[in-house]
Amino acid sequence: MLDFLQQVPLVLASASKNRQKLLQNCGLQFSIRPSNIDESHIKKHYKGHSFSDLAMLLAKSKAMSVSQELPNDVIIAADQLCVLDNQYFDKPIAHAIAKQQLEQLSGKSHQLLTAVCLVKNNQILWQHLVCTIMTMHCLKPSTIENYLHIEQPYHSCGSYHYEGLGKWLFKEIHHGDESTIIGLPLLALLNALQALNIVSIR
């Protein structure tokens, strides 16, 4: 892509394979430096009332953490929260929790909040948040068990992999595209990278 894109050094503050693949497919060159922030500590001590603000706080905290180590690079960081009935779901980790989450989401509409930001030298260059409304089918208990057994989405927000078989769980999606759902609002990010002269097209 050297004859098409010109860019400054980029760092993705995430170990997410989905986010890495999204950026790679756009021809971007970047290094990977997952942040070491304690997300559970931030969530536990969050004093605000907006889940959107919490999602953005988590994304910014990740970016700032990595920016302290690499002040000359542009840091890309993102975070997601799955929100239903004024509560958010953490990554399930365990099968029983994932099952419980899908049982709660079944037949209902929930919000998937996707926050992303760009930071350089501890300065926020850009931030963006998308609230995607996702409506699940009414899922049979056997469907939930079969799905979890096959995809094991225990480290995914909402206990589903939308990039895979998770699409079959949903009836309707509003206010978000696939890239946003699986980790990054890609078009908004690419537009910001160009507008800030971080990446240019030759």
Number of domains in the chain: 1
CATH number at residue 124: 3.90.950.10
pTM: 0.93
Task: For the chain, give the mean pLDDT.
Answer: 95
Catalytic-labelled residue, pool 73, 79, 85, 90: 79
Band of the pLDDT at 2, cuts 50, 70, 90? low
pLDDT tens digit string along 40-69? 899 988 988 899 999 999 999 999 999 999
Residue 199 phi/psi, 5-degree rounding, is -130, 140
Percent of the chain with pLDDT over 90: 91
Range of the domain at 94: 5-201
Identify whether 53 is a catalytic site residue: no
Q: What is the mean pLDDT of residues 167-172?
A: 98
Using CA atoms, how far residue 78 sits from 19, 36, 49, 102, 164, in Å, is 9, 14, 20, 23, 20
Q: What is the mean pLDDT of residues 130-152?
A: 98
What whole-number distance in Å separates Cα of residue 168 and Cα of residue 105?
14
